[in-house]
Structure formats: C-alpha cells, structure tokens
Structure 1
Amino acid sequence: MGKITLARTIAEKRHERGITQEQLAEFIGVTKASVSKWETGQSLPDLALLPGLAAYFNISIDELIGFRPDMTREEIRHFYRKTARAFTCRPLEEVMEECRKTAKEYYSCFPLLFQISSLMVNHCSLCKTPEEQNLILREAKELLTRVRTESRDVSLAKQALSLEAYCLIALCQPNEALDLLADEPSPYLPSEPLIASAWQMKDQPERAVTVLQAGIYQDLLGLLNQMSSYLGLCTNNPEAFRETWRRICILADVFQVQQLNPGVFLSICLGCAYGFLAQNDSTSALDALEKYVHCACGNIYPLQLHGDRYFDRLDNWLDDRLELGAAPPRNHAAIRQDIVNSVTENPAFLSLKDNPRFCALNLKLEKFAGSGSHQGGTTT
C-alpha cells in the first residue's frame, strides 16, 4: 500500500496544471499558506476538502492521497516467493509477523490474503508445538473466511472454501468442515464442453482446445486426489486397496503423471506404502516406494506445474489463471529435502530398516540429496 503521498501529489498535480498556490487556494477556498503547508507536509487538508481537491485534479481520492488497496498479480507472486524462501532460512515467528503485517496493510486485497493463508498452511509444520501450529491454522482460517465471504471472485471464493475446510480438518473440527462443504456431493456437470462449444461458434478453436485441455487436466488431478483419499479408507480391505492402487498406476502411466505433476504422484506412492505396511505386506510397500524413489530422483526439477506433449496448451493457461503462476507453494530446496526425508527420516518405515531393498532405496535418495542444487534449483 505504501505511505500516504498527499503532499507530493498536490504539488505534482499543481505543477502539471501550471497553476500557483494562490490559484489553487482560491479555488478550494483556503489561504495560500494552507496550500504551502499541505505541499511541505506540515499539515493536511480537512477531510471535507479532499473531494474538491480530487475533482479539481480529475483524479480519485485514493489517487490523491496515494492509497493503493491492492497488490498487482506480479507483486503478489514476488511477495509469495520471497516469503516462501524466508520460511526456510529465518525464524518462523519473524516471518509470520511479516505475513500478519502485510495482511493488515492489504486487508481488502483478497488474492493476497488467500496466498498469505496458503503460506501459513504450508509452513505451519515448522512450529515447535501443536499449540503453535493450531494458532497459525486458526489465523489462516480467519483470513480464508474473509476471502470466502467478501470476495466477488467466485473462483477465488471456492479456493478459499476448500482451504478453509482443510484448516478445519487439521484443527480436528469435522462437523464445522462438513457444514462448510455440505455433507453430500452434488451432481457434477462440467462446464468446459459448453464453453468450448461457444468458442467454436465464435470461430476461435484454439480457445476451445485450451479450455478442454484445462478441464481434462483439472479433472485428472481431482480424480487422482479422490482415489488417494479412497486408498486411506481401504486399508482394512486389502483387495479394494490393491485394486485402487493398480488403477491409479494405470491412470498415472496413461497420462504420464510422474512428469506432468510429480507432487501428486509422490504423495500417492507414499500413502500407498503406508497402507501396504499396515496390511503387513512389505513387498508391495517396497514396490510403491520404488516408484516413489524412481520419480523423486528423476528429471522432475525444478518442481512446478506444466503441460506436456498432450497438454500442449496448458503452460500459458496455468500462468494466466493461477495467481502464483506455475510456481510451487514452497521453496524448491525445502520441497526437495522433504521429498528425501519423507522416506529416509520417516518413522513409519522403521520396520523396513534392515531390508536390503529399502536400504538400497535409502542410499539412492541420500546420493540424490547430496548431488547439489543443480538438479533441484531454487526460486529466484
């Protein structure tokens, strides 16, 4: 938002008009001395005079006083990336305080408030105690409630609703999450085919192709996320668990999800390994971990959303539609280290520590972790 620049604005606009302080004073109905004090910052105009000054210079009152309630998209992206890096190298509370200060300063910039909430949610795991983590989650939830209820951007409000529900689940408030989301899913009728048809009628087939690719991509990721959640409910049903995992692998191979969106694939592989271990099936757990390590050590860095040869219109769509563009929600170096630690430092895999296959996977990840930033990259 910056500092109030009323004094400078009055002086600049007066010079642009080529008028004297006496002429401006006469128009507004004050003394020349008053105008002089305004321009030197010794005093401010009465509130009642601001509309007249703004009208005289043909600008808004916000422009007159130098008030800018919103950040631009590029400014939001810069703030997010800078803050994500700060979380990896500065004290958590110090960075959190900067987030709180920025949120207050731009309290009506809803895209920024959403991204600040996302930063809080993605980094609350750095807290030393559950109490501190819950405090940050509650702060994020309050900001998300404001975005959801007051933003006129329907898409942004929906994103805020989903992230707010996530906060409620993390805070162990399932009833509130169900109230927010509605207990039963509503019938789904995608709008992309209709939008594509409309663009075709306007003789813009390229726009139609982009819309449909974006719809397929989003539905693919949505399906994979739902199947991942379903895996968690099938732990006590080995047959359903194995079949769900088999179908996930087929879907991932068909659409090359390992390259298209490796973060989703890695998360599913890890969850599947947990599930197989819960069923005392260490062989299948290691199969899932081998897929994880193969993907993790592959050519997927720097991690960011992107298209491929099939989704060849996706890159521009992602950059245009997502507030942060294709950038990941956290610093690349932190993500890379978490990918490694999720296996090498994970207590869930203690039962495998003496297994030769698991030791080989650990060794491969450790070599990968020590291979330097040339593979992982960092956000600048």
Structure 2
Amino acid sequence: MSLQIGQTILAARRAKGLTQEALAGMIGVTAAAVSKWETASSYPDITLLPPLARALGLTTDELLAFQTAPTAEELRILSDRLRCIFDEQGFDAGCTAADDLLREYPTCGSLKLTVGSLYYHYIASALNNAADATQTAEDISIRCLSLFEQGEQQCTETGEKLMAKSLRINMLTMLGRYEEAEALIDSLPQKLIVDPEQLRLGLHLAQDRLEEAAQLAHRALLTHLGETSTALMSLTTVSRRCGDFAAAHLYVQTYRALDALFGTDSSNGLLLEIMLAQDEHDNARTLDLFEQYIEAQLSRTLNYCDNPYFSDVQTQVPSANELNEMRQLTLRAIEEDERYDPIRQEPRFQAALNRLKTAISSGR
C-alpha cells in the first residue's frame, strides 16, 4: 500500500498559496525535503505530521487520507478491480491483491464479505490448477468462513449481517459442520409475512413509477425463479435417493420447462436428467443427454442482457475466462465420475468430450 501524502501536501500547499520554501520554514525543514515529499521520493517523519497538518490547515487524518472503511462507491470500484485481477491474472494474484486490501482496511466487514464472496466465486480457477482439488476446496471454504464470521461481527447494517450469516451457513454445510449450520439457521429471524419489496412494487404502480416498478418485478421474478428451481432440484434429489423415479422425472421435467420458458441456462437441468438416467441404468438415454449437456456447456454464456425477463437486473456477466474455468471444472468432474464408466468408451461420448476439451484449450 502506497501513501498518497505527497499529493495531499502539494494540493493543500498550493491551495493556501504557500511556496515550498515557505512551508519548509514553518515546520523547520528544507525546501528540498518538501519537494521530496511532494514527488513521493520520501515521506515526512512521523513527528512532523502534527505541525505539517496544522501548517496546511488539515487534520492528521486528512493529511494521511485516513479512512476506517471505503465508501460504498469505493467498495464497488475495489470489487470490480479485484474481479479483473482474479479473472485476468488468476486466483493467486487475486488473493494477493485482496489480502493487501484486507490489511489496509482490517476492520471493514463489508470488504470481508466482498473478498470472501470473490474467493468462492473464483474457486473453479483454484481447483483447476490444484494438485489436490479436495483439499484446496476445503482450504478455500475455511478461509471464506473466517472472512464471513469476521464480516458479520464488523458489519453495522442488519442486511449485511444477515447476508454474512447466510454465507456462513452455506460454508459450514459444505464443510460438513452440520450442527453448527443448524444452530445458525435457528438463530435467524423469522421471515416476514409481508415482503417489503412487494409493498414497494404496489406503491410504485400506484404512483405510475413504471420503470422502478418493472425493475422490482423483474428482480422478484428472478429471485422466485431461483427459489423454485432450487426446490425442484432438492425434490429431484430426494426422489432419486428414495427410488421414486416417477416423481423425480416430474420434478426434472418441470425444472427444465422453467429454463426453457424463461430462457435461462439449460445445463443444470440436463445434468439432473443425466443423473436420473444413470440411476435407472439407461445408458442410451444417458448418452443422448450427455451430448446435449456438452452442447449446452459450449453455448453457455449466462448473459441475460437480451433476456426480456432479466435484462435490467443482472448485475454481473461472466467473462470468457470465467466460463472457461467453469468448463474446466466440468471436464474434471466428468473425468473423475465413475458413473460415466458404462458409456465412457462410446465414440459419441468421446467425441462430445473432445469438443469440450477443444473449446477449453482454445479459450472460447
């Protein structure tokens, strides 16, 4: 972290109409020393900070540009900068940059939530380059959990505290620490009977604030679609484990119908159907679905900017590098999954897998 004190001294000195010699004389140093400070060749001695601040009409905090935490806008800019580093330079470089910021703002809970979320978002990059993917995933999850715990303690806004707790629950569940996760769930406040956003939507409609009403409605639609898809996925898993394949087929088909209706990513629904076909030992069906799944992976963009339902509420579009990291993780999962063994030597399986490998190697 570099101090910007030289720029502050230069701007404040000029604002007060002082020459370097005049400022130097006020605090008992040479004009050359002031020049070095302003060009960042050196920093003032710590004992000179109070008289220097008084001479320039600043507080020492202003002189040092001290902040306990970045503003919301600064945090957004920092997050975007970190995303670029993770995306373009890799996971290790992103971690180094994130750690520098955490040292700069050690008590900023919002930053810790941001960094922990980025670590998890880019976990595919770390796993693709790991000698032991299982251990790496556990190490990153533990790191994220620590950041979310600190974030919850340091955040002041109720919404952020709840978000931190939710993230902690997800991490604990992934780590198999189920009792701790359940205790945290029990500590969450009861869900409000009325959603304030739905009330706000009605208000905006009554006020004819149509653009704001449309954005709230789109956001609600995206939220509820996600919740519905998660519930259908869970019901499919329960039905498969219970051997109730008729129910599992119903849930999978409903899941896929929602993807088709709203124009969202089809690969997860296809993967659910592949697992169901594997449970039923239907190799022909598994092979057909596998080819469709690979094609869905290759055409996947997760960009809904032209989607009439979600174009105005998508906050982040994955980059080409992110999509390629996801494909690499998919390839690793396929190669390590013994459930594909019955069709692994099929020419169609190999051809589909080679299309995925080619796309990965070309970075498309």
Question: Taking structure 1 as the reference length, what is the TM-score of the superposition?
Answer: 0.75
Give CA deviations for 1:225-250 in whole Å, capped at 9, x if unaligned.
22213322222222221221122122
Partner of 2:275: 274
SS at match of 1:172: coil
Partner of 2:40: none
**Equivalent residue in structure 2 for 1:248, among 250, 255, 262:** 255
Bigger shift: residues 5-14 or 183-192: 183-192
Partner of 2:340: 349
- Aligned partner of 1:219: which letter? H
**Contact kept in structure 2, 1:151 and 1:157, CA below 8 Å:** yes
Deviation at residue 67 of structure 1 after TM alignment: 3.4
Task: Return the alpha-carbon distance in structure 2 between the equivalents of residues 361 and 190 of structure 1.
Answer: 47
Asked which structure has the greater RCO (Cα within 8 Å, sep 6+), the reply is 1
Partner of 1:322: none
Task: Return the alpha-carbon distance in structure 2 between the equivalents of residues 230 and 308 of structure 1.
Answer: 31
Map 1:46-57 onto structure 2 (within 5 A).
52=54, 56-57=57-58
Bigger shift: residues 172-181 or 116-125: 116-125
Partner of 1:335: 326
**Contact kept in structure 2, 1:99 and 1:116, CA below 8 Å:** yes
Bigger shift: residues 203-212 or 232-241: 232-241
**Equivalent residue in structure 2 for 1:178, among 182, 198, 209:** 182
- Distance verdict in 2 for CA 1:38–1:22, change over 3 Å: closer
- Aligned partner of 1:249: which letter? R
SS at match of 1:315: coil
Gap regions ≥5 residues in structure 1: 320-324
Task: Return the alpha-carbon distance in structure 2 between the equivalents of residues 196 and 249 of structure 1.
Answer: 29
**Equivalent residue in structure 1 for 2:76, among 73, 76, 80:** 73
**Contact kept in structure 2, 1:232 and 1:275, CA below 8 Å:** no
**Contact kept in structure 2, 1:344 and 1:362, CA below 8 Å:** no
SS at match of 2:205: helix
**Contact kept in structure 2, 1:293 and 1:365, CA below 8 Å:** yes
Give CA deviations for 1:246-265 in whole Å, capped at 9, x if unaligned.
221222222222xxxx2xx4
Task: Return the alpha-carbon distance in structure 2 between the equivalents of residues 360 and 113 of structure 1.
Answer: 46
Partner of 2:63: 64
Task: Return the alpha-carbon distance in structure 1 between the equivalents of residues 171 and 27 of structure 2.
Answer: 57
Map 1:140-289 onto structure 2 (within 5 A).
140-182=144-186, 186=191, 189-235=194-240, 236=242, 237-257=244-264, 262=265, 265-286=266-287, 288-289=289-290
Bigger shift: residues 129-138 or 164-173: 129-138
- Distance verdict in 2 for CA 1:213–1:17, change over 3 Å: same
Gap regions ≥5 residues in structure 2: 38-42
Bigger shift: residues 223-232 or 146-155: 146-155
Task: Return the alpha-carbon distance in structure 2 between the equivalents of residues 139 and 267 of structure 1.
Answer: 27
Give CA deviations for 1:178-233 in whole Å, capped at 9, x if unaligned.
12223898466443331222223333111101110111012102211222133222
Question: Taking structure 2 as the reference length, what is the TM-score of the superposition?
Answer: 0.78
**Contact kept in structure 2, 1:293 and 1:361, CA below 8 Å:** no
Deviation at residue 9 of structure 1 after TM alignment: 1.9
Deviation at residue 85 of structure 1 after TM alignment: 3.4
- Aligned partner of 1:63: which letter? E
- Aligned partner of 1:113: which letter? K
- Distance verdict in 2 for CA 1:194–1:187, change over 3 Å: closer
| Identity %, equivalent residues | 16
What RMSD over aligned residues (CA atoms) do the two structures have, in Å? Answer: 3.6
- Distance verdict in 2 for CA 1:38–1:196, change over 3 Å: same
**Contact kept in structure 1, 2:116 and 2:144, CA below 8 Å:** yes
**Contact kept in structure 1, 2:327 and 2:360, CA below 8 Å:** no
- Aligned partner of 1:364: which letter? A
